[in-house]
Chain A
């Protein structure tokens, strides 16, 4: 195929703006799949993705399209829509020359539309504006076109107005992909270089690398080298996704497909690495992209200690297909043996959690998610910690640095007050305000990740009656006046409940936390003091009163069956708890740590 007839592009959009539907229509129009075989949103292969309407893993599909008597090869690289998977959007776009930015005609630009547009621009992709769902009664394509022009600088008359659902305007869009998006640069004669933009693990075939060839050619049986790892493999199969896997003999410059080369472990392949020819290696690797950074951590403990090996096996399986998820053994005095798990963000965590339950049926006790901190030690060295319990002794700590993000919130003008108040209470600094239209406003904040990681989005949604959207991107660690709060339950410090917070609201947070604990820990046979300590000094106390009366008055022959059932239920309730000293703490208590609501 002539390189001039290859187009590599992605579709990026805010969640539910119709990205996958558009992909389906394109697959149909190009005859890649027939309407009959088209199940909806064919690119989303995982159940959870389909249920949640989001795409987690990028995947690529090759289509053939006739335009003015010429055959074009269109490679569509699908991208995830959610903020947690930014880096996947970015790596998909690195493999493309162009991007279709899809905006819902009734909802307009949303936070993730913007975030995706930035990523596309950074990746140097040519962007086509697409206004989708123009057939809906609530559609306001002209207004949206105005927003796009105002915010993204794409001229309103250059936006495509389509309905992915009915197919309206999709053919014109495909024509535009051929006419307006640039072809790959012609580097046929240079040494082979292919970017690994994704990978997945197949039980029978090992690791399957998704690649975009930037220069030279990859051939079957060729000996290749992963430039970052330095390891060499023999290519056993090359192919394209059409959308099922179809083997080919070679992948030429500009093409997109997959490589199978007897790679056994997903861990041996780094997304963003460059494949080159082992015999005639390229001098430099392709510019990859920043590896994804885990920003959210949470401990998982088996509900029953005997399930530890099963939990480990389950995590191993999950990690096989998700290089951005990590887990390391953890031993907590309070909770026993478990794992500290790292995630890209909260959604990523929820997905892992859900898959754990769905695919493995293991009861887990999970601690509240925390962020990663950078600690400047007295000796001048810096250290990353993923849990407040790892914080070194105060005397060794010069500075605690916390992760900051650029936070963007788009909301309606009538909810500005509530959103700003919430943001301020979470230590967010307003950087920029931009009116997208008379009724919609964009805020940009500099925000500490720890403040928005748990329930911030839910609260924003509540304040804006579901309207507001937000997105964030990690910008760096910044020093802050941070302190560690310890929680003592019945005079015993409980590591899993400690947290690092800003000094200004340490006391308030501590108080709120023990009030929540007081509500979630059931009464015991004795009084339980709950205390908040900072640096060994108690700053707040709550008390869980002891049972005063809890006894069945009558228990005779006819009552035994019923009463034993009641007592067994009472005992069952205790099973889902973790005992610390003589106090039984229910799982919710551990999750209440980061819940800052009242």
Chain B
């Protein structure tokens, strides 16, 4: 156990850690039991060793994402939900995150990821404490990433995280140009990126990633090349290179509307992207997804889970949890349907819960409503659940043991087929036909015969003996192709 200041995280602030909010032992109602024989005691291949690094692994298992919705200041391009950390009682939120996590105590997660917002905006002790708790929920050897703002790391924090079990850091570098960092509204300098990567190395991390943004308003190809070269100089294992998108509600979006700034020309965006793929490839960072590049074996397993459409649980305001893969024809991961991640005691989403459906009601009738979402039984159907982003209502709900306000999006078998295909195709490896069949019970070549044929003829898709994937020319225009996989024809 890592040592940390126990005043930051007190065990007795979690009275229900062992007996979750509902006060119920893990159990499922008789109906649910018939539908999902293992719903209460799920096995998710959690015991499978993950320590060995395969090339482009097909992750198996359930990912855990913890969202820290605080930032020191809001970046101008960022569309994620976050609030300024100043004056916030962050400890209360961290408590709630842990309590929400407790609701999933049947699951051993195969990857962990603390992101935000800026996790590093939290006081060091709180972040370390959070990491400790998360680490306990991961299988041995699991990848465990924490997002770091380069301006917000110091030796104690990185050391504490490492000891807590964090084995991967992802730095939101974005750019190495002072002017671009200023424009983006990042709170750090280029020098901070270099020093924090050095520091991470010294502390002992050997799996580091950098995020970069290209196609910034007013930037040239040379500007971008400079940032990429600077990132490569740092010798990190992983780079995510994102083309800037103008997210609704951001300062950038408003500025673009008012004409204060404008998006770069499509051709320049394309040139930057093409060059990135080439340059990073030369440097040994292989492109494994539209925007992600890594040394072989250093791909982000957690994110690979998303693109493999594996189940994941999102904790915290605004976080999304997936149904994962639902067996369409009895194949696939047993009971990896939504009910797997169904938190006990919080099973009734706000939209269907009335005031009686809190702890008391469940205690009274002893029935866990875990298989009924929005009044719909979930056998054979899945759902994606997204916590409402608003912090106050989240905290109040968790502290009172009430259902967390969340949106439930049903995901039916057809949706699952399409989502799996679209997500898979973002990977350079594409759709692994055998895995796809195992997950969905369907043959991808047959299900998507139309678009596959059409784009094969255009040289935008290739079919190899075991896989279907986008060709290199298809990557910059992937959406125009993936849209044909977004719904069945």
Contacts and interface: CB of A to CB of B under 8 A. Distances in A.
Interface string B97-131: 00000000000000000000000000000000000
A142 B478 CA distance: 72
Contacts of B86: none
B191 interface: no
Contact of B482 (A548, A554, A556, A567): A567
Which of A553, A570, A571 counts the most B-chain CB atoms under 10 A from its CB? A553
B486 A564 contact: yes
B479 A550 contact: yes
B475 interface: yes
Interface in B216-271: 242-245, 266-267, 269-270
A557 interface: yes
A558 B243 CA distance: 18
Interface string A570-593: 111010000000100000000000
A555 B303 CA distance: 9
Interface string A520-556: 0000111000000000000000000011111111111
B477 A582 contact: no
Given A564-B418, A567-B483, A551 B319 contact: no
B17 interface: no
Contacts of A554: 242, 245, 291
A248 interface: no
Given A525-B460, A525-B477, A567-B486, A557 B273 contact: no
Contacts of B480: 524-525, 547, 550, 570
A554 B426 CA distance: 10
Given A557-B320, A560-B384, A560-B419, A570 B267 contact: no
A525 B474 contact: yes
Contacts of A553: 242-245, 290-291
Contact of B269 (A548, A558, A572): A548
Nearest to A546: B477
Given A564-B486, A571-B483, A571-B487, A551 B320 contact: no
A557 B306 contact: yes
A551 B312 CA distance: 24
A561 interface: yes
A52 interface: no
Kindly state the interface size class of chain A when it binds its partner: 20 to 34
B439 interface: no
Given A570-B483, A571-B487, A560 B290 contact: no
B92 to A, nearest CB: 23
Interface residues of B, number: 51
A557 B475 contact: no
A256 to B, nearest CB: 58
Contacts of A526: 458
Given A560-B423, A582-B458, A525 B242 contact: no
A574 B386 CA distance: 30
Interface in B155-172: none
A11 to B, nearest CB: 56
B88 interface: no
A421 interface: no
A116 B269 CA distance: 64
Contacts, number: 110
A568 interface: yes
A568 B312 contact: no
A267 B265 CA distance: 62
Contacts of B312: 557
Contacts of B474: 525
B423 A555 contact: yes
A547 B290 CA distance: 16
B40 interface: no
B245 A551 contact: no
A110 B35 CA distance: 77
B415 interface: yes
A524 B460 CA distance: 12
- Greatest chain B CB density within 10 A among A524, A550, A570 is at A550
A546 B479 CA distance: 13
Q: In this complex, which of A524, A557, A571 has the most chain B Cβ atoms within 10 angstroms of its Cβ?
A: A557
Nearest to B267: A548
Main secondary structure of the interface of B (DSSP, over half): helix
A582 B322 CA distance: 36
A549 B476 contact: yes
A582 to B, nearest CB: 6
B314 interface: yes
Contacts of B455: 525
A550 B273 CA distance: 11
Nearest to B240: A554
Contacts of A568: 483, 486-487
Contacts of B242: 553-554
B477 A547 contact: yes
A253 to B, nearest CB: 67
B241 to A, nearest CB: 9
A333 to B, nearest CB: 18
Contacts of A574: 483-484
Contacts of A571: 483-484, 486-487
Contacts of A561: 320, 384, 386, 409
A571 B487 CA distance: 8
Given A568-B483, A570-B483, A571-B487, A556 B306 contact: yes
Nearest to B418: A564
A572 B484 CA distance: 9
B415 A549 contact: no
A550 B481 CA distance: 9
Interface string A478-503: 00000000000000000000000000
B343 interface: no
Chain B CB within 10 A, most for which of A546, A549, A567, A570: A549
Contacts of B273: 549
A36 to B, nearest CB: 53
A554 B481 CA distance: 16
Contacts of B457: 582
B65 A557 contact: yes
B454 A560 contact: no
A138 to B, nearest CB: 47
Given A560-B423, A564-B419, 5 more contacts: A551-B479, A552-B245, A560-B320, A561-B409, A574-B483
19 contacts: A524-B480, A525-B481, A547-B476, A549-B477, A550-B478, A551-B290, A551-B475, A551-B478, A554-B291, A556-B306, A558-B318, A560-B320, A560-B322, A560-B384, A560-B423, A561-B386, A567-B479, A567-B485, A574-B484
Nearest 6 pairs of A and B residues by beta carbon: A567-B486, A570-B483, A553-B242, A558-B320, A551-B478, A547-B477
